[in-house]
Amino acid sequence: MTAADTGALHADMLVEFDYTRSLGPVLSEFMTGLAERRVLGGRLADGRVAVPPPEYDPETFTPVTDLVPVAATGEVLTWSWVSEPLPGQPLQRPFAYALVRLDGADTPMLHAVDVASPDDIRTGLRVRVRWAEETQGRITDIVSFEPADGSEEPPAPRAAEDERHAITVTPVRLEYDYAASPEESVFGRGLKEGRILAQACPVCHKVYVPPRGACPVDGVPTSEPKELPDTGIVTTFCIVNVPFLGQKIQPPYVSAYVLLDGADIAFLHLILGCDAHDVRMGMRVKAVWKPEDERTYSLENISHFEPTGEPDADFESYRRHL
């Protein structure tokens, strides 16, 4: 997170998941072939052999059912040079992406060709598959292609696998630079100081916390500063008993809408300091702040809200906030 005094607050945001992909009949056979160091193509309706085999014909949309073996050697039809490989790309040193037509196939496949410089690759170059040490039934079982002079022995296929590969796992990891809006940034800096800097819409004068880039009713930024106390009520809530991937708070916990005194909108926060089952609609609560040296620019600076022990608010007083 940035510590600048003005401008948008930034934070790294990671979106990461290992997707499990069921392959269906055609790709399952193709991937099982790769695990056995064999490449299969699919015969299209017009008789051409396509690699990888599509599950449905690109012209007639009918299922492709006839899979045929093709060679692990072929020819570069076109290429482009990657001087600075991106994370996840097949090689982490300069390489070429190429469309390679394998011998026995009619259409090319996209993959990497491992050569040292653009001078070492040309259209028409003969290449062969470089297999992974451990094959797993994934497209990356082909690590890359490499130049072939025709004298090499074709790699020995592995023994047939006991099991078909019906699932492949694809890790997706994306890194984002997340930025807050100017209004949220003001709010975040306030939180660092232990203050709640809300803003009102200049048109409808409703007080928004956090403040907003656009008042959702009037479509203009909430621009009128309005500092709020850190006390309020629980309007409604639920008790989260369910654990899930990526969860940051240990269940069970109370996720509640807290309506601060003077605010016109509630926000979600955590209620602690009493048994979850003692939390009530209308209960008076007060923010419990993290120590100053642990504070960032996030609403997490408020560790949680806890009951003040004051009498509950009358239902009619917050009914319109539900």
Partner 1 sequence: MSKQLAAVIGVGQTHYRAKREDVSMPGLLREAIDRALADAGVTFDDIDAVVVGKAPDLFEGVMMPELFLAESIGAAGKPMMRVHTAGSVGGSTAIVAASLVQSGVHQRVLTVAYEKQSESNAMWALSVPVPFTMPVHAGAGGYFAPHVRSYIRRSGAPTEVGAIVAAKDRQNALKNPYAHLKNEGTTVESVLASQMLWDPVRYDETCPSSDGACAMVIASEDAVERAGIANPAWIHGQVMRSEPLTYAERDQVNPRAGRDAAAYLWKQTGITDPLREVDCAEVYVPFSWFEPMWMENLGFAEEGAGWKLTESGTTALDGDLPVNMSGGVLSSNPIGASGMIRFAEAALQVMGEAGEHQVDGAARALGHAYGGGSQFFAMWLVGSEKPG
Partner 2 sequence: MRDVAIVGFAQRQMREFDGSPNCVELLVPILADLWEDTGWTKDDIGFWCSGSSDYLAGRSFSFVTAIDAIGAVPPVSESHVEMDAAWALYEAWLKIQTGEADSALVYGFGKSSASPLRRTLALQLDPYTMTPLWPDTVSIAGLQARLGMEQGVWDEKALAEVVARSRTAGADNEHAVRRDPLTVEDVLAEPLFADPLRRSDCAPVTDGAAAMIIAAADAPGLDRLQHSERTRATITGFAHSVDPSTLGVRDLLRSPSAHAAGRAAGTEGVEVAELHAPFSHQELILRRELRLVDDVSVNPSGGALCANPMFSAGLVRIGEAAKRIWSSEAHRALGHATSGPALQQNLVCVMEGSDQ
Residue 206 interacts with, from partner 1, partner 2, none (CB under 5-8 Å by kind): partner 1
Residues in 31-70 that interact with partner 1 by CB under 8 A: 54-59, 61, 63
Instruction: Kindly state the helix (H) or strand (E) to which residue 22 belongs, with its residue range.
Output: strand 10-22
Measured distance CA(28)–CA(19) in Å, rounded: 16
Strand ranges of the sheet holding 39-43, from the earlier edge strand across to the other edge: 49-50, 39-43, 67-70
For partner 2, the binding residues (CB under 8 A) are 7-8, 13, 15, 19, 21, 23, 27, 30-31, 44, 50-52, 54, 58-59, 77-83, 86-90, 97-99, 107-112, 118, 123, 138-140, 168, 170, 172, 174-182, 184, 212-221
Q: Which entry of partner 2, partner 1, none binds 235, CB below 5 to 8 A by partner kind?
A: partner 1
Residue 110 contacts which entry, partner 1, partner 2, none (Cβ below 5-8 A, type-dependent): partner 2
How many beta carbons lie within 10 A of that of residue 308, not counting itself?
A: 14
Q: Smaller CB distance to partner 1: residue 49 or 125?
A: 49
Q: Is 19 in the site for partner 1 (CB under 8 A)?
A: yes
DSSP string covering 59-110: TT-PBP--EEEE-SEEEEEEEEEESSPPTTSS-SSSEEEEEEEETT-SS-EE
Decide if residue 6 touches partner 1 (CB under 8 A). Answer: no
Among partner 2, partner 1, none, residue 103 binds (CB under 5-8 Å by kind): none
The radius of gyration of the chain's CA atoms, rounded to the nearest angstrom, is: 30
Residues 208-227 binding partner 1 (CB under 8 A) are: 208, 215-217
Q: What residues contact 32, with CB distance under 8 A and at least 6 apart?
A: 137, 161, 164, 165
Classified as helix, coil or strand, 317 is helix
Q: In sequence order, what are the beta bridge partners of 104?
A: none
Q: Is 30 in the site for partner 1 (CB under 8 A)?
A: no
Q: Which of 2, 4, 7, 17 binds partner 1 (CB under 8 A)?
A: 17
Work out what residue 166 binds among partner 2, partner 1, none; the CB cut-off runs from 5 to 8 Å by kind.
partner 1
Characterize 179-216 residue by residue with b for buried, 16 or more Cβ atoms within 10 angstroms of its Cβ, and e for exposed. ebbbbbbbbbbbbbeeebbbbbbeeeeebbbbbbeebe
Q: Which of residues 96-125 bind partner 1 (CB under 8 A)?
A: none
Decide if residue 228 touches partner 1 (CB under 8 A).
no
- Three-state DSSP class for 50? strand
170 binds partner 1 (CB under 8 A): yes
7 belongs to the binding site for partner 1 (CB under 8 A): no
Q: Which stretch binds partner 1 (CB under 8 A): 108-116, 138-146, 241-249, 283-291?
A: 241-249
Given a contact cutoff of 8 angstroms between Cβ atoms, the answer to whether 286 and 321 are in contact is no
